[in-house]
Structure formats: C-alpha cells, structure tokens
Amino acid sequence: MQTLTGIVPGAVGVSKRFSDNTEMPGTLTMTPIACTSTPLLALEADLIIVPWFEQEDPSAVPGLDAATGGDIARALASKEFSGRLFEHLLTTVAGTNGRARRLLVAGAGSSSEYRTELARQIAAAAGIAARSRRAGRVAFALRDRGEPLDMAQAVAEGLTLSEFNVGAYKTDETPPPAAPTWTIVLPERSADAVAQVRAGIDRGRLLAECSNLARVLANEPGNTLTPREFAQRAAALAGESGVGVDILDEARIAQLNMGLLLGVARGSSEPPRVIVFDYTPSQGQYPPTAPVLGLVGKGITFDSGGISIKPADGMERMKDDMAGGAAVACAMRAISILKAPIRVVGVVPATENMPGGRAIKPGDILKSAAGKTVEVINTDAEGRLILGDGLWYAQQLGATHLVDVATLTGACVVALGKSTSGLFGTPPEWVEHVRRVANRAGDRVWPMPTFDDYREQLKSEIADFTNTGGRPAGSITAALFLKEFTGGRPWVHLDIAGTAWAEEARPYLPKGPSGVGVRTLAELAFTSTEWNFRT
C-alpha cells in the first residue's frame, strides 16, 4: 500500500486544513483530561460536576451540602431538584475550605440503571452546560458505581463529545468558548488504581475526538467537501496517525472495473475517488493467519437522488450522506493511534449523485467489479451500488471479516426511528458480536432479519438483480443487495440513516452530526480474540 503523496505518517496539522490552506472549521485540538483522587472540595476548579441519583439524601456525597450552605438539601426538599435524568442544579460553593467556585449537580436518574451509556450521556450534557457557562476549569466526580476504568472512559468520551461546535460557519454570533480543561475525580484510590483508570480516560478521549472529527466532516457543505476534497481530508486524518493511505482516481477506478461506482458518478462534473486505508501492526505482532477486518463506508458527498430526484424539502441534509465514510476514516485514525493487534483495511468509495446529462437512468444496467450485473430501478438507491464495489475491493485487499456503515435507507428510519441504527448481516455469531461491541461503545443498534425470501424482491428479468426491491422491507432488501458482494465472508451492515444526524437537540447531543459508528468500528479491531466462530 502506497502512502498518499504529501501525507507523511506522524505529520502535524495536515488534517486541519482545506486544500487551499485555510483552516478547517470545527477542527479540535485535543488536550489530555487530567485524573485525580484529590478530595472534591480541595480542587482548584471553576466548576465541579457531581452526578446525583434519584432518592439520594443530601448527605450522599459527604461535605457537599454543607459546602453549598445547604442549597442541595433545600432544592431536594422543595422538589426544585430531584435527580431526574439530565436535570441540573447550579449553586455556589460557600464552604470556607472550598477552592471550587461553583457546583453543578447533574441528575443521573436511578442508581440501579447507571451504566456506561448513561454516564457518557450525563457527562456530555453536563459538559455542554459547563461550556455555556464559560467555565475554564471543570472537574467531573466519578461516583462509586460500576467498573472504574469503564466508567472513566465513558465520562471522558462524554466530556469530549461536548466540545463539538456545529455552528463553525457562523460569522454573526459570538464564537463558543474554548473547551475547558477537564479533570475526572475518582473516589479515593491508590496511585496504581489511578494509573489504570488513566488509561481508560486517555482511550475515551481519543475515541471521542475521532468521533468529533467525523462530525466535522459530516457537517461540511457539499460545495466544499467534494469527493476529491473528502479524499484529501480523510487521507490526512488517518495518514498522520501512521495509516497507509492510497487514493484511487477515476482512471484507476476504471482499471478495476468498478462499474457501479462509475455509474453513480456519471451525473456529476466532480470525478469519483476511492479512499483506501491499510493499518498493519508492528512486525512480529501480527501472525499471517490472523483475521483481517475490512471496514467499508459510504462516501456520497451530496445526494440529489440523481434522475430519481429527491423532493426539495430537506435535500440540504444530503450533505451528510458521507457520514459512513467519515466514520471509517476516523476509526482508522483511532485504530492506528491505539495500536490495534490485527490488520485493518478501510475502503471509502466517494462520489456525488447528481442528475447531469450523462447520469444513469432508471432501466440502465451496470456491471460491478465482481462481475455481477445490476438493473437500476431507482437512481436514488445509489449508496448500495458504490458499496458493492467497495465490499469487493476490501476482499481484494485481504479482508476476512467485513463491516459496512452507511446512511442507506429511509426505510430503516421508519422501522427504528432516529436513536437506533439497523444491524444486518451473517452469520448470526458475527452479528451478535458486533451488536455487543456497538452497544458498549454507545452506538445503539438493533438486529434486523435477512431471510432469503426477501431477495425475491430484487429479481430482475434482464440482469442478475435490481438495485431496489421497492418500499416493503426496504432496509432489508438493501442489505441483501450488499450481501451479494460479500463473497460469503462474515459481514455486518450498519444502516445509520436515522442516527447519523440529530434533527432535534437532546441534552447530550446538539442538532447536527452525531459521529455515530466511529467508536464501534475502532473497538472492533481490539476484539479479534472473541471472533470464536467458523468463517
């Protein structure tokens, strides 16, 4: 695998710029999150955040109520604050020995339900609240619940996710304040225990930073993030971490006979690209018989629907149709920095889907790189076309286990709404493994069926199959289309059409791109010892 010209592994700042050398809006500068077991009220901080559970009395955190002059007890007694999920109580620290200025008591709901997913969300919501109050030094108290390392990683992820700025292009508003310096405060622990938790915090910080970088990419408008620009930025993000990167231009794509990708690209004046990533562990750490994880992401930088054009209402959102590709690129960055124990390859086919004079038409037949022919029924079912060629190419690079991620179908949104991604694949053991990893990572998924009889909806009279099976079971037939290009390998398809973009703000997630998939894809690379089923 050749490294892209101009991208030097370890180079600093490459990912932070456009090709015209101007600054990329929203780019983050990651600083470490501190970790301490210093008593809360002895901390030097502008704001202390303490999760508070329902039914707790004012003495639940010793000395805290007294330090606030009894404000916590008064708020609990008056029901101004009860510990309900995402409820906040802001008060001052009045104790004579206290060094912190203010206290944010964050409702954490039922203590019995407080797990990593809730800890991540509570930390993100409290982090957003802390930033809105322009706190410069913020400490988050880790309550004595759950496994400390896992909970600390989740909290670090939540605090980092709160740093994303969706309004990077606004010029008429005061820019949001810089992210605070974060400190996670542990219950009293030994120095060795603090060092162990420190590793989880660093991991969470990196994984969430990579999620935020994917959000930056997905938030870019289509006029700046063309396929070529997307390829340059994605290559830079992964390449500076040491990942091998190769960008295939239209000539090399044609040499590989990727007819599905080339067909979709025909309607645009912007040429397509395929971004190829290759991470291999250090020599001697990677046996030849080890599995190879193949990650494939949809990279449609703008989707008009092509000849089967979309309604105008909401079409502006189609700038995020490359969120799956962004997830792959940023997961590859995390995989390399964290030094995964197995080889991982990534493939992101990138193009626009436009209704130009040369655009594919309903009724056209395209031939894939795998040799299969596809009758195009609807040109707005383009994501599965480019993923078909991408899945084939991942296998040519040696992938033994496949995961693709894509904003693929509105049908999945109808089925699962906007808080859960669709999970499809085979064999069941591989699907279940990815489900467990995704849910641990905070990317909630739900398994969907892939019964063979659904494939009848893709039957074509003149080609191997059609590119859409119609409205019934639309997300399932889309997944079965992709299955045709997996070569019988263990494969999972993540449909993130409903989860890649938050259309309504939540306490822990502002309106805009979510960065879904990054943490799941990255964590999969560290679980190969659990792949204990036949391939």
DSSP string, 236-278: HHHHTTT-EEEEE-HHHHHHTT-HHHHHHHTT-SSPPEEEEEE
Token readout for 337 is: 């920095």
Please report the pLDDT score of residue 212 as a whole number: 97
Task: Please tell me the distance from the alpha carbon of residue 366 to that of residue 462, in angstroms, as a whole number.
Answer: 11
174-178, 189-193, 440-444: range with lowest mean pLDDT:
189-193
Q: Supply the residues annotated as catalytic.
A: 310, 384
Please report the pLDDT score of residue 350 as a whole number: 98
Catalogue all structural domains in the chain, each as residue range(s) with its CATH number: 38-186 (3.40.220.10), 214-530 (3.40.630.10)
- Is the pLDDT confidence value at 513 over 80? yes
Please report the pLDDT score of residue 15 as a whole number: 34
- Is the pLDDT confidence value at 55 over 80? yes
Nearest to 495 by CA among 321, 274, 271: 321
Nearest to 348 by CA among 405, 276, 402: 276
- Which tens digits make up the pLDDT trace of 220-272? 999 999 999 999 999 999 999 999 999 999 999 999 999 999 999 999 999 99
Q: Please, which pLDDT band fits residue 193 given cuts at 50, 70 and 90?
A: confident
Q: Taking residues 381-393, report their average pLDDT.
A: 98
Please report the pLDDT score of residue 97 as a whole number: 57
Q: Quote the mean pLDDT of the chain.
A: 91
Which residues have C-beta within 8 Å of that of residue 164, sequence separation ≥ 6?
26, 28, 212, 215, 216, 510, 512, 515
Tokens 């930390």 map to which residue?
Answer: 123
Task: Please tell me the distance from the alpha carbon of residue 502 to that of residue 338, in angstroms, as a whole number.
Answer: 28
- Is the pLDDT confidence value at 199 over 60? yes
Q: Taking residues 446-475, report their average pLDDT.
A: 97
Please report the pLDDT score of residue 533 as a whole number: 55
CB 315 within 8 A of CB 366: no
- Is the pLDDT confidence value at 23 over 70? no
Indicate the DSSP class of residue 373: E
This prediction has a pTM of 0.93
Alpha-carbon distance values, 345 to 179, 339, 463 (Å)? 33, 14, 31
For strand 373-375 and strand 465-466, is the pairing parallel, antiparallel, or unpaired?
parallel
For every residue of 334-356, DSSP letters joined together read: HHHHTT-SSEEEEEEEEEEE---
Please report the pLDDT score of residue 531 as a whole number: 78
Residue 296 phi/psi, 5° resolution?
A: -125, 125
Percent of the chain scoring above 90 in pLDDT: 83
Q: Please, which pLDDT band fits residue 529 given cuts at 50, 70 and 90?
A: confident
Tell how far CA 334 is from the center of its chain. Answer: 11
Q: Please, which pLDDT band fits residue 192 given cuts at 50, 70 and 90?
A: confident
- Is the pLDDT confidence value at 1 over 70? no
Q: Taking residues 134-151, report their average pLDDT.
A: 93
Q: Taking residues 470-477, report their average pLDDT.
A: 97
Task: Please tell me the distance from the alpha carbon of residue 157 to that of residue 30, in angstroms, as a whole number.
Answer: 12
- Which tens digits make up the pLDDT trace of 474-506? 999 999 999 999 999 999 999 999 999 999 999
Cβ atoms within 10 Å of 236's Cβ, excluding its own = 24
